[in-house]
Structure 1
Amino acid sequence: DRANPLTARVVVNRFWEHLFGIGIVETSEDFGSQGEPPSHQELLDHLAVELMKHDWDTKWLLREIVTSATYRQSSRTSPELAERDPRNRLLARGPRFRLPAEIIRDQALAVSGQLSDKMLGPSVQPYQPKLGLRAAFGGSTDWDTSPGEDAYRRGLYTKWRRTAPYPSMVTFDAPSREFCTIRRTRTNTPLQALVTLNDPVFIQAAQALARRVLHEIDADESARIEWLFRTILTRPPSNEEFNRLQRTLTAAKLHFEADPEAAGPMATDPIGPVPDCTDTVNLAAWTVLANVILNLDETLARP
C-alpha cells in the first residue's frame, strides 16, 4: 500500500547500509520509536517513494544510489571532517569500510585466477585447519576438503556448521548463525592480519598471483610490479608505492638467496610444485610481494 511506505523505507535503508556501511536509519533492525531517527529523512522518503513508483525494481534502486554524486565522491578525509563528522553521517565524503568476510576471501581467489564461477549445487568444504575441528568435535576431523574447483567456489557456497563455523570468515566477523544477525559488527584486531598473512587460502592466492605475473608478463621487473599492483587494486601505483614495492621485492630475493631452503615452501606450499623453467627463489620473492599487496588496507576495504 503506497499509503504505508514502511516496507519501501526498510528496503531502501538495507541497500544504503550495504553500500555505505551504515544505514540512513542506523538501527536497521528497529524503525520504531525505540530506534535511531533517520539522518536524512527526506532522502529516505524520496527513495522509498521512487522505489514504489518503479514497481519495486531493486536494480533501479541500486543504480540510482551508485551513480549519485554522494556515492562517487572520494573517501579521503581531512582533520576538519574527521573532527566534525567522524562517522560520515553527513555524507561529506564517500564510504570506506572493510569488506565482508566472504568477499575478502572471494576477492583473493578472483585476482589470483582461482575463483570458480560454478553456480548452484550443494555446499562445499574449502580447506580449514584441523585444530579447530578437533576442538569442536572432540577429536573428530570429518571435514574433508572438497576436490578440484569446488575448493575455490565463492564463500556463499561454503558449508556452515554452527558448532564449527569457517574460521577465517568468523575472524572477519561473519555471523555464526546461531541466531539471527541484523547488522554485522566490524572488529579490528591482530587476528585478522594473521589470517590474511598466514591462512593457506591467502598464501595460495599469493602463490598463484606470483605464477601469473611471471608467466603472463614477459617483461622487466618494473612492468611486473605495476601489473601485479594494478591487478589487485585496479589502479597504477604511485612513485612512492612503486619504490617501496621494489625494495620489498629486492629484500625478499636477498633473503631467499641467503636461505634457499625457505624458498621452496614459500613457493610451493600449499599450491604445488614449481613450474618448469621457473626459478624457485624468484617465485618465492614474488609470492611475498603478492602477499604484501593482498594485505594492504586498500585491498581489504571498500575504497
Structure 2
Amino acid sequence: MKQLLILSLVFSLLGCSGASQRSINYDAFGEYWYQGKAELNSYELEQYRYGEKRVGEAVLIFVTEDFWRDKQVKLDEPQANESDAQKVLKLNMTKKFITGIYPYSMMLSVFTPVYDSIPAVKVTASVQEWCGQTYTQLKRNNGKYKAQLFSYFERESDQQLTLDAIPEDNLWTLLRLHPRQVPTGEVKLIPALLDQRLTHEQLEAEEATITIAPATESMAGFAATELQLLTVKYKAYPRTLHIFYTSAFPYQIAGWEEIRRLEGGKEEVSRATRKATMMIDYWTKNKNKFEPLRRKLKLDN
C-alpha cells in the first residue's frame, strides 16, 4: 500500500513538472526500483595510486528517493511538500584500498531526476586518508553547475567555479535509467570527481567522445553476448572510462575500467569486477545481528 501511494504521488507530480519527461518504460522501472529497497553491488577493486596497483573493494548502491528541488537535499516528508518533491535515482559509490601503511576511503554520490529530463541535480565526492580530507560538490543551477572544492592541499585550498558541461559521474545513473538516456558522440564533460581528486588536475569542462557498443569480453559471470560497453574517451584529459553493463533491464553494472594515460605512452588500468549483488532495505539492517549480510555481499571490511 505504501508503495502504491508513493507511485500515485510521483505520477501526480509529473503533471506539475515544467521539465520534459524521460522516455522510459516506467512500468518495468517502477516494479524494480519502487520496492522500497536498494540495489547493493560489491566489486573486487584494482586501483592504481602512487604508481602501483592496490587491491581493495568498491560498492555501488543504487536507490530511488525523494529530493527537495530547491534545497537539493533528501526530502523526508514528500507528502507534505508535494510541489518541491522530485524523484531521483541516487548512486552512492565507495572505494576502499590501502596505500602502504595507510588507507584510502573514497565516496561519490549522484542524484539524477527520474522523470525530469535534465542531468544530475547534484554530485558530491569526498576522500579521506591519513594526510587529510577533501570534498567536492556540484549543484545544478540555471543549466550550469556551481562547483565547490574544499581541500587541505595549499595549492588547491577552497575554490568556487561555474562549469557548463555534463558530469561524467552522471553517466552511471543515466545508464541505469536507460542506456538511451546517455548522450553519445562528442560531448563536453566534467571529469569524474574521484579521479580528479587522485590526479589533482584542474576541475574544468573537457571535450570527450562517448560510445556504446556490444562488449567483446565476458565479465563477472556474464557472457560477452549479455553485456554492452559504454566508453568515455577524453581528447586532452588523460582518461578513458569503460563501463560494462547488462544489455537488458535493469542494466546492472558488471564492472568497469579506468585508464590513465601517462607520459611516454604508458597506461595505468584500474579495474572493478562484480562479486555479489543484493536488493535490500539496508537502512533497517543496522544491528549487529545483520553483519552476516556482509558475507553474502562478499565484503572483507
Query: Which structure is higher in helix share?
Result: 1
Query: Which structure is higher in strand share?
Result: 2
TM range, smaller chain: under 0.3
Q: Scaled by the length of structure 2, what TM-score is found?
A: 0.21
